[in-house]
Chain A
């Protein structure tokens, strides 16, 4: 009988059972609420402790937001030539200074004849349009009012089909306007708000460098790019532009493909046709530029890539400093709460329970610093938006809080281990 008892008395090695995982979960949840409680109890101390993490998160998210905002901006405004559209012009955009200087000597302007040549020979395009612009030295008048430096652009009626200029009221430049070189214009919202704040602009005549043009259409609002309004324009038929302002303008040819997949072959076709037309030998580079949205985006991504790398380095330094401050305060907390740890141990808290408690406390602390940083950066993002552009990506919020929590975890482990390894008798003896 007693021999049997002895066998029962031997301690059985305990294995992690479902009940124990549940146990860990209960402890962790308890630790979570306890951590929030502690944060609330020591508001100022926690805030000061978390300053490093707050600044790191804020920096990270603000930079991510500004870059993200500018990405969207560039994609929406600068680089958007229209869907599946590329532009043939005298120079390739967004190239290095040396290349540009070289191109400036070699490249010849694109002429109306080039446009007509492409129109005759190019196959498989959806829309082909041409534009010629005067950006400066223009004077627009209506009644007693004057606007200077409005962009005056001569367009082919096909530009409407590319889809960037849509009439809000009235119509776009028509084929008939083009054919007859009529004195009609399609104006941007800035012109409307300046000249016709209360009137219907349709049918009224404005003076463009002294020549009267009848308004036939008003464009939808486009917005601003880098603080510069994109609605400050007057579009007239290209034929009229040539008749009145510039007989032989340098033009841009916009070419729209049927689909994104057809962009590269269409670009190749344009390049080949132009090279043949200009008799460019095999070894020599193009004397014209073919520009698509991705030209600009590539350059932009390179630029922001280096900004981002620097930011990451700065944030890493902030985070490490913030983490060390958290570790310091957690070590103080462990000392301060030694008696409490003793009580918990006497009631059956295992090492891992105490470890969990303090690691979670450290994580919750750091994560709330991260959350504070997110709030702060949302605020800053709002302010930035007043003068520039910024858009907080959801990923930034996740990364911000997650990274802070990870820092809390990493720097919380050492103090938590110290707490977990306290001897219960010693700890209980420590009176508060």
Chain B
């Protein structure tokens, strides 16, 4: 588990109180490119409170994708500590991370990432399969989630029978079906036209109003402006952390 030295570097008082859903302390991510070490993140620290609507902005190559992967528990930091919903997840094994991803995180991707051969309903059921929810309950909860994104009438359609906006709504339903503590969206409007993009952003607004914590990764200012707080990343560090309203 944790060594004595690391404990000394991260004092007990850093462990987050209940209202902090994400606490990152001195996160480093270093890639070995042959002999060269590339620091994608160099000591990033921040807190995100429950119910916040945060955008992470930065140009490409700034390290925001790396940060998103860390926040989304798809990866572990080289150094530093990361608490999600009170759990120290920076030191978990792969399978434990999978469990956290399943329980605590709802992903929305730029390219939707739906299974092409499965119906919308089945796509939404997927996270429930991996926590062993019985079939009947699974279908019921997936239907409920699809109703929430107003796709109740498209449940049996495959992704290629849906429009881009509808696909992204299916993805949002899938993200929400397990009642995660954060909704993590990576350029959710990147593959959509402006009107559909606005529609999806309105959906995010609504979800935020109903109490969800949303973390949005984007490089578009008008999208980021929807959030209540913007964290600017540049060269692997936090450049600016500002409240928009």
Is chain B found bound to chain A in the same assembly?
yes
Distance from A344 Cβ to chain B, minimum over Cβ atoms (Å): 7
Question: Is B113's beta carbon under 8 Å from chain A?
Answer: yes
Question: Is B88's beta carbon under 8 Å from chain A?
Answer: yes
Q: Which residues of B contact A168 (CB under 8 A)?
A: none
| Segment at the interface with B among A14-22, A143-151, A240-248 | A14-22
Distance from B49 Cβ to chain A, minimum over Cβ atoms (Å): 15
Which listed residue (B83, B103, B117) contacts A348, Cβ 8 A?
B103
Question: Is B32's beta carbon under 8 Å from chain A?
Answer: no
Tell me whether B99 and A350 are in contact (CB under 8 A): yes
Tell me whether A343 and B133 are in contact (CB under 8 A): no
| Segment at the interface with A among B54-62, B89-97, B200-208, B224-232 | B89-97
CA distance A54 to B73 in the complex (A): 44
Tell me whether A346 and B107 are in contact (CB under 8 A): yes
**Per-position 1/0 for A3-46, Cβ under 8 A of B:** 10110111100100001101111110010000001000100000
Which listed residue (A22, A346, A347, A431) contacts B132, Cβ 8 A?
A22
CA distance A41 to B115 in the complex (A): 15
Question: Is A134's beta carbon under 8 Å from chain B?
Answer: no
Q: Which residues of A contact B94 (CB under 8 A)?
A: 350-351
Q: Which residues of A contact B88 (CB under 8 A)?
A: 9-11
Tell me whether A425 and B87 are in contact (CB under 8 A): no
With A2-B12, A2-B13, A5-B15 as contacts: A30 and B129 at CB distance below 8 Å: yes
Which listed residue (B113, B129, B135) contacts A343, Cβ 8 A?
B113
By a beta-carbon cutoff of 8 Å, the part of chain A in contact with chain B is 1-3, 5-6, 8-11, 14, 19-20, 22-27, 30, 37, 41, 339-340, 342-353, 424-425, 428, 431-432
Distance from A357 Cβ to chain B, minimum over Cβ atoms (Å): 10
Give me the 5 closest cross-chain CB pairs, A-B, nearest first.
Answer: A348-B102, A23-B132, A6-B15, A350-B98, A350-B95
Q: Which residues of B contact A24 (CB under 8 A)?
A: 132
Contact residues of B between 56 and 98, Cβ < 8 Å to A: 69, 72, 74-75, 83, 86-89, 91-92, 94-96, 98
Contact residues of B between 119 and 160, Cβ < 8 Å to A: 126-127, 129-135
Instruction: Find the B residue at minimum CB distance from A12.
Output: B87
Which listed residue (A5, A6, A27) contacts B130, Cβ 8 A?
A27
Tell me whether B98 and A348 are in contact (CB under 8 A): yes
CA distance A8 to B116 in the complex (A): 40
Q: Which residues of B contact A344 (CB under 8 A)?
A: 126, 130
With A8-B86, A348-B98 as contacts: A340 and B115 at CB distance below 8 Å: yes
CB<8 Å pairs between A and B, sample of 14:
A5-B86, A14-B99, A25-B132, A27-B132, A41-B117, A345-B101, A347-B102, A347-B126, A348-B101, A348-B102, A351-B94, A425-B69, A425-B75, A431-B111
Distance from B55 Cβ to chain A, minimum over Cβ atoms (Å): 21
Question: Is B167's beta carbon under 8 Å from chain A?
Answer: no
Distance from A92 Cβ to chain B, minimum over Cβ atoms (Å): 67
For the complex with contacts A5-B17, A14-B99, A339-B113, 7 further pairs of A-B residues with Cβ separation under 8 Å are: A11-B92, A24-B132, A26-B135, A345-B101, A347-B126, A353-B98, A425-B75
Q: Which residues of A contact B99 (CB under 8 A)?
A: 14, 348, 350
Contact residues of B between 146 and 200, Cβ < 8 Å to A: 174, 178
Q: How large is the interface on B (under 10, 10 to 19, 20 to 34, 35 or more residues)?
A: 35 or more
With a 10 A CB-CB cut-off, give which of A1, A19, A22, A350 has the most chain B CB atoms. A350
Instruction: Find the A residue at minimum CB distance from B12.
Output: A6
Tell me whether A19 and B132 are in contact (CB under 8 A): yes
Q: Which residues of A contact B69 (CB under 8 A)?
A: 425
Tell me whether A349 and B15 are in contact (CB under 8 A): no
Instruction: Find the B residue at minimum CB distance from A342.
Output: B113
With a 10 A CB-CB cut-off, give which of A9, A10, A343, A344 has the most chain B CB atoms. A9
Q: Which residues of B contact A339 (CB under 8 A)?
A: 113
Distance from B47 Cβ to chain A, minimum over Cβ atoms (Å): 13
Distance from B10 Cβ to chain A, minimum over Cβ atoms (Å): 10
Question: Is B16's beta carbon under 8 Å from chain A?
Answer: yes
Which listed residue (A5, A348, A428) contacts B16, Cβ 8 A?
A5
CA distance A342 to B117 in the complex (A): 15
With A26-B132, A350-B95 as contacts: A432 and B17 at CB distance below 8 Å: no
Tell me whether B107 and A27 are in contact (CB under 8 A): no
With A2-B15, A9-B15, A22-B132 as contacts: A346 and B92 at CB distance below 8 Å: no
CA distance A23 to B96 in the complex (A): 15
CA distance A125 to B102 in the complex (A): 80
CA distance A3 to B13 in the complex (A): 7
With A41-B117, A343-B113, A432-B116 as contacts: A9 and B130 at CB distance below 8 Å: no
CA distance A350 to B102 in the complex (A): 9
Q: Which residues of A contact B89 (CB under 8 A)?
A: 11
Tell me whether A26 and B12 are in contact (CB under 8 A): no
CA distance A416 to B224 in the complex (A): 41
Distance from A39 Cβ to chain B, minimum over Cβ atoms (Å): 13
CA distance A349 to B18 in the complex (A): 27
Q: Which residues of A contact B101 (CB under 8 A)?
A: 345-348
Tell me whether B132 and A20 are in contact (CB under 8 A): yes
CA distance A27 to B115 in the complex (A): 16
Q: Which residues of A contact B135 (CB under 8 A)?
A: 26
Q: Which residues of A contact B111 (CB under 8 A)?
A: 431
Distance from B66 Cβ to chain A, minimum over Cβ atoms (Å): 9
With a 10 A CB-CB cut-off, give which of A343, A346, A432 has the most chain B CB atoms. A346
CA distance A11 to B86 in the complex (A): 10
CA distance A76 to B129 in the complex (A): 55
Tell me whether A11 and B87 are in contact (CB under 8 A): yes
Tell me whether A11 and B130 are in contact (CB under 8 A): no
Tell me whether A353 and B130 are in contact (CB under 8 A): yes
With a 10 A CB-CB cut-off, give which of A8, A25, A347, A350 has the most chain B CB atoms. A347
Q: Which residues of A contact B91 (CB under 8 A)?
A: 11
CA distance A37 to B15 in the complex (A): 47
Tell me whether A14 and B96 are in contact (CB under 8 A): yes
Distance from B12 Cβ to chain A, minimum over Cβ atoms (Å): 5
CA distance A413 to B182 in the complex (A): 35
Which listed residue (A9, A19, A37, A346) contacts B117, Cβ 8 A?
A37
CA distance A23 to B109 in the complex (A): 26
